[in-house]
Amino acid sequence: MVNMTIIDLLRDRASRNAKDIAFRFMDNGELDGPITEWTFSELYHQSAGVAEDLIEQSLTGSSILLAFPPGLDFVKAFYGCLLAGARAVPVPLPNPRSKNPLGRILNTAASCGASTVLTNKQLAEMVATMVSELPVHLRPVTDHTGTNFTGPRAEMDEIAYLQFTSGSTGHPKGVSISHFNAVSNLRVMGQMLRLDSTKPAIVWAPHYHDLCLVGHILGPVYYGYESTLMSPLEFVSKPVRWLRAMSHYKIANTACPNFGYEYAVRRIKPEDCEGLDLSHWIVAGNGGEPVLPQTMEKFIKKFGPYGFRPQAFMPTYGMAESVLFVSGLKSLSQPPKVLTLNPADLERHTVSVLADNEPSGHKVVSCGKPGANHQVIAIDPVTLTPCNANQVGELWVKGPSVPSGYWGLPEESSVTFDGRLAGTNEGPFLRNGDLGFVADGETYLTGRLKDLIIIAGRNHYPSDIELSVQQSGAPVRLGACAAISMSENGAEEIVIIAEVDDRQIPAGVQSEGPGAKSIDTFWASAVKTVQGAVSTGHGLSVRTVVFVEPRSLEKTSSGKPRRQHYKNLFLKGKLAVLHQKQSPQTV
């Protein structure tokens, strides 16, 4: 195995493939809109200019936050940090809807000791007019291009970047990812996705998201393929842009959460599909949230006539604590495996497989096998011993992709990254709190250990309850719902927190005066619909339903709901509530 750091790979790629396109950014997502393209040579020299500027500012060895809107400025800033020997720390842009828009940036900076935030000129000037004094300095990234750059050499065990998993409140956690960890995961990614320089890719995930950062910003430098980037806002406003770009550029590989495929099915009209050619699509990665068989079926039915093949779907399991990929390896000639399980047994954490056509069964999608030199096992979280083949347990991960821990958090690092088997002390394993089982070497996820809802001795997975709410017809934004449990007078009660889909709110619902009666009727119907769906689908009574403002529920860097965070906000009365209904407690 050749030991080449990320910057070694960048220099090599800029030399061997100097004139090949590395990155393309579609400014407004349209094929006839503004498009910026960089070759590997241009990428290197743009990044070298950033590195020279950082070295001149004596920032080598420091953590540097990267807060950029979508675009290639983020890409050159990221590689510029690595070339300069600084730790890149990607962060989201300030949320203008937040009561503390700079909170996440400031909390993250404090956590990793950063004093500098690289951004674009517009954001730096805007913040300067808003706040007179900050503990960090927002600097516009330089337009300087490096020509004869000679910078520090990195070692494989050196920390290349920090991937933060949260940070809006409380205690942000930054995964310390070394060059060795990142390169190991890139090898796993290539094995799973069958990557090479001839397979162009596209993504609309945010640049700071590990899906984009590893798969579509680091990946091209390792494998030499052409990477097309677009803004998630352009996808959300008009999702057919994604498929039109795939058709035009003959894209072989893309990935997004299950939400993206569901959204495309719902929002893309048949007339928008005219002329689409998806026959070049080899891998459709699906991860970051529960993978739903019905979503894949609907996507295949709608876009199969335009060349999309069922076997292209590749459900994956991954997390920032393992750089990105954990498992996903499958045959490219077969669709993903789906098991139909007995729901009653699953509540007892037992796996009983039913016939595929069993109407009452609970379907679980395989997330494939782990990559070479990586291992996934299911462990009893109480005894810390391996589960039997038919048991659900906590999934533990081992392999060279797994970093040593969180930056500056030794105690939390030990809990998460130093799992040891009882009796043998085998380890260390990454134990990230995911529940699931391993069958025939393939990984199946069922939920989260900390989020598990236990009522009257029965286990309920929040993701299943949330799906019932999503499909109920209630005015809930797609992928923006959380089921949590609260202790009330010694008993566990379910609380549903859901973002309102503002497109489903009738005119005048949020106004005062004559429309008040219609407002009451609207909310009463919405609450009843949610309660009915959970009662029918899970036999559970929901006392409290909370509807919050659209886009007010922040997710993790991997796009997962932050249920414990929402629970804390609910308890503190800090949710952006539009309507809340608590039914009387039954005696």
| Domain CATH number, residue 516 | 3.30.300.30
Split at pLDDT 50, 70, 90, the class of 150 is confident
Per-residue pLDDT of 58-108, as tens digits, reads 999 999 999 999 999 999 999 999 999 999 999 999 877 677 788 889 999
Pairing between strand 201-203 and 137-140? unpaired
Q: For residue 467, is pLDDT > 90?
A: no
Q: Supply the pLDDT for residue 587.
A: 42
7 sits in which H/E element: helix 6-16
Q: For residue 514, is pLDDT > 80?
A: no
Q: Supply the pLDDT for residue 566.
A: 87
Residues 417, 514 within the same domain: no
Q: Supply the pLDDT for residue 23.
A: 98
| pLDDT (mean) for 293-305 | 96
Counted domains in the chain:
3
Q: Supply the pLDDT for residue 297.
A: 97
291: which 2 tokens? 């993978």
Domain membership of residue 241 (yes or no) is no
Per-residue pLDDT of 396-445, as tens digits, reads 999 999 999 999 999 999 999 999 999 999 999 999 889 999 999 999 99
Residues 38, 169 within the same domain: yes
570: which 2 tokens? 């609910």
Q: Supply the pLDDT for residue 212.
A: 96
Q: Supply the pLDDT for residue 381.
A: 93
Q: Supply the pLDDT for residue 133.
A: 76
Residues 415, 557 within the same domain: no
Domain membership of residue 286 (yes or no) is no
Q: Which residues contact 178 (CB under 8 A, 6 or more apart)?
A: 156, 157, 158, 159, 160, 403, 404
Residues 426, 526 within the same domain: no
CATH number of the domain to which 39 belongs: 3.40.50.12780
Q: pTM score, two decimals? A: 0.86
Average pLDDT of the chain is: 91
Q: Supply the pLDDT for residue 509.
A: 54
Q: For residue 497, is pLDDT > 50?
A: yes
Instruction: Determine the straight-line distance between the first and last CA of the chain, rounded to whole angstroms.
Output: 66
Q: For residue 130, is pLDDT > 80?
A: no
Q: Supply the pLDDT for residue 3.
A: 86
Residues 465, 402 within the same domain: no
Q: Which of 169, 195, 230 is the last residue of a domain?
A: 230
Say what angle helices 462-470 and 516-538 make with each other, to 10 degrees: 130
Tell me how long the chain is: 587
Split at pLDDT 50, 70, 90, the class of 1 is very low
- Its domain, for residue 437, covers 337-448
Q: Quick one: 50 exposed, middle or buried, by C-beta within 10 A (0-12, 13-18, 19+)?
A: buried
Transcribe 383-440 into DSSP letters: T-SBPPTTB-EEEEEESTTS-S-BTT-HHHHHHHH-B--TTT----BEEEEEEEEEET
Residues 436, 473 within the same domain: no
Sheet containing strand 137-140, edge to edge, reads 137-140, 116-119, 63-66, 87-90, 159-164, 174-178
List the single range of 35-44, 94-103, 158-167, 287-296 with lowest mean pLDDT.
Answer: 94-103
Residues 459, 569 within the same domain: yes
Q: Say if residue 428 is preceded by a cis peptide, omega within 30 of 0.
A: yes
Split at pLDDT 50, 70, 90, the class of 167 is very low
Q: Supply the pLDDT for residue 2.
A: 63
Domain membership of residue 204 (yes or no) is yes
Max mean pLDDT among 38-42, 133-137, 450-454, 466-470 falls in 38-42
Residue type, 369: K
Q: Supply the pLDDT for residue 450.
A: 80
Identify which has the larger pLDDT, 116 or 288: 116
Q: Supply the pLDDT for residue 277.
A: 98
CB 460 within 8 A of CB 385: no
Residues 422, 471 within the same domain: no
Q: φ and ψ at 46, to 5 degrees?
A: -65, -45
Residues 122, 18 within the same domain: yes
Q: Supply the pLDDT for residue 169.
A: 42
Q: How far apart are CA 496 and CA 526, in angstroms?
A: 12
Domain membership of residue 305 (yes or no) is no
Per-residue pLDDT of 110-125, as tens digits, reads 999 999 999 999 999 8
Q: Supply the pLDDT for residue 316.
A: 97
CATH number of the domain to which 417 belongs: 2.30.38.10
Per-residue pLDDT of 314-342, as tens digits, reads 999 999 999 999 999 999 999 999 999 99
Residues 373, 497 within the same domain: no
Q: Which of 177, 206, 230 is the last residue of a domain?
A: 230
Domain membership of residue 156 (yes or no) is yes
Domain membership of residue 310 (yes or no) is no
Residues 468, 418 within the same domain: no
Domain membership of residue 329 (yes or no) is no
Which residue shows structure tokens 């069993």?
Answer: 358
Q: Which of 432, 448, 464 is the last residue of a domain?
A: 448
Work out the number of other CB atoms within 10 angstroms of the CB of residue 343: 14
Per-residue pLDDT of 231-265, as tens digits, reads 999 999 999 999 999 999 999 999 999 989 999 99
Residues 90, 202 within the same domain: yes
Domain membership of residue 295 (yes or no) is no
In 3D space, the residue among 119, 91, 115, 88 whose CA is nearest the CA of residue 105 turns out to be 91
Sheet containing strand 369-370, edge to edge, reads 317-318, 325-329, 369-370
Q: Supply the pLDDT for residue 351.
A: 96
Number of H helices, E strands in the chain: 17, 28
List the single range of 192-206, 312-326, 460-474 with lowest mean pLDDT.
Answer: 460-474
Q: For residue 463, is pLDDT > 90?
A: no
Q: Return the beta strands (E) in 11-115 as ranges.
A: 21-26, 35-39, 63-66, 87-90
Per-residue pLDDT of 354-400, as tens digits, reads 999 999 899 999 999 999 999 999 999 999 999 998 999 999 999 99
Q: Supply the pLDDT for residue 168.
A: 38
